[in-house]
Structure 1
């Protein structure tokens, strides 16, 4: 059986410890086949410690997941591993990442590793030696999972709000998707305040004073919905927008003086906003989006055309190119149809890998 082991540490000569661990692992019943490069990575939660060295190894083994895990613990102990806490420094850390395509859970072991898909320092090594290998739970390749992280590392944290934000240009289908996902996940939906914003119609007609009032109205409504007091720890909820897009629209609609006023309030609000644990970016062609916008016949959307949709889509692409707030799942409406129940069900199953449900 092919299995994959993550190796790392940040105390002493970690590179030597990794080599020693691999030598001890290579045996009659577990043969080391391939080893990734060793990467230097920043610590996760506890930043006040040295950087880590990490690598991934592929092994061929006749051991069961429990037996291989026991072997890894034994090797850690033989190399002086002290178990002082989850986020503390360690001489050597050996994680059983995958064991074939098995999905296994016991009180002391979960396979595949429940957070490997959140760690660039793991997926980078996996991509080096098995980029097209599929994760048994998500069904995605190692490369697909790595691309969602954009070079960053995340972790499941039950003590923060479990906010899932659905993003995309106007008319792409965010609210429909968020509503259907919430039904699958058994949670609520936070919707943009389009219908209650009294300044929006005038702003869409070019009223400059209304433009600022409209933008501030959206900002305040988002603050009310997304601040940490509103979203208690462990609560799973979807929003049909991502907070970061608020500035994107302000820069497009406000003049310099208005933007300064807006930015002052935005800086005050931003500090209290809960970051999403997962962001879903829904994309479609400008022509298809315009068709949906025209079908719903909202008066304040009458000036929208394909060019404006394409320009806004470019802004979203640019924003998400440097996305560091959460893992990012990008959906192309040409392959993903939020009106098809099986598509939504599969996505909901994937989402469960990125949240802590209580």
Structure 2
């Protein structure tokens, strides 16, 4: 049986990944894998003191994403189902490179490759890019208390990291189809025509 398509939606914090993933999954009749965020016990501490809590935070995310890919995504894909996820495993390195330093960064890289190198990889990636005002507005609208202490400077640096990392990922995985969505110009929630255009591009890559 042919494996199903694996679609990942990526972008910085507040870009709208979970919303777009849910909308695509609904239209495609596909299950959706959502990353665990608010359940991370280190997130609030991290936003208050990034240096002290970054390793614990990133390890929690890495281990949970590994388990989701291994236990949820892989069986569905191997059974021929298409799966939509609101993250790409590569985000572990994007965030880890930003938050970790020295020996902790190197240990994290080693653990990342040990866990993730044999996991199923998305064949379609949707990258939602957005500027800082857009992200701050959306973060404020969704009202997660733990995010209210987030340093805008950290978010701004993440935007830069994604702008570098996504083209690098495309070069590393030339067989993966990439769809870029400008979150500052496109409102796929309020504008159905704009969402249909994204959906159309995804379906083209599924053929």
Q: Same fold (TM over 0.5)?
A: yes
Structure 1 residue 291: Cα displacement: 1.3
Which residue matches 1:272?
118
* 2:35–2:86 contact (8 Å) kept in structure 1: yes
Q: Supply the distance in 2 between the matched residues of 1:332 and 1:214 (Cα, whole angstroms).
A: 28
Pick from 26, 38, 62: which aligns with 1:195?
A: 38
Pick from 143, 148, 151: which aligns with 1:302?
A: 148
* 2:131–2:159 contact (8 Å) kept in structure 1: no
Pick from 128, 138, 162: which aligns with 1:292?
A: 138
* 1:197–1:217 contact (8 Å) kept in structure 2: yes
> Match of 1:160, SS?
coil
> Match of 2:106, SS?
helix
Which blocks of at least 5 consecutive residues in structure 2 are unaligned?
none
> Match of 1:354, SS?
helix
* 1:166–1:281 contact (8 Å) kept in structure 2: yes
2:185 aligned with 1:342, yes or no? no
Which residue matches 2:10?
167
Which has the larger helix fraction?
Answer: 2
Q: Supply the distance in 2 between the matched residues of 1:289 and 1:229 (Cα, whole angstroms).
A: 31
> Where in structure 1 do 4 or more consecutive aligned residues deviate above 4 Å?
none
Structure ranking higher on relative contact order (CA contacts 8 Å, 6+ apart): 2
Structure 1 residue 276: Cα displacement: 0.6
Structure 1 residue 337: Cα displacement: 1.5
TM-score after normalising by structure 1: 0.52
CA RMSD of aligned residues (A): 2.1
Cα deviation per residue 1:110-149 (whole Å; 9 max; x = unaligned)? Answer: xxxxxxxxxxxxxxxxxxxxxxxxxxxxxxxxxxxxxxxx
* 1:250–1:259 contact (8 Å) kept in structure 2: yes
Structure 1 residue 332: Cα displacement: 1.0
Change in CA separation of 1:295 and 1:336 when aligned onto 2, cut-off 3 Å: closer
* 2:10–2:87 contact (8 Å) kept in structure 1: yes
2:83 aligned with 1:232, yes or no? no
Which blocks of at least 5 consecutive residues in structure 1 are unaligned?
1-157
Which has the larger strand fraction?
Answer: 1
Which residue matches 1:214?
57
Change in CA separation of 1:273 and 1:289 when aligned onto 2, cut-off 3 Å: same
TM-score after normalising by structure 2: 0.86
Q: Supply the distance in 1 between the matched residues of 2:159 and 2:14 (Cα, whole angstroms).
A: 11
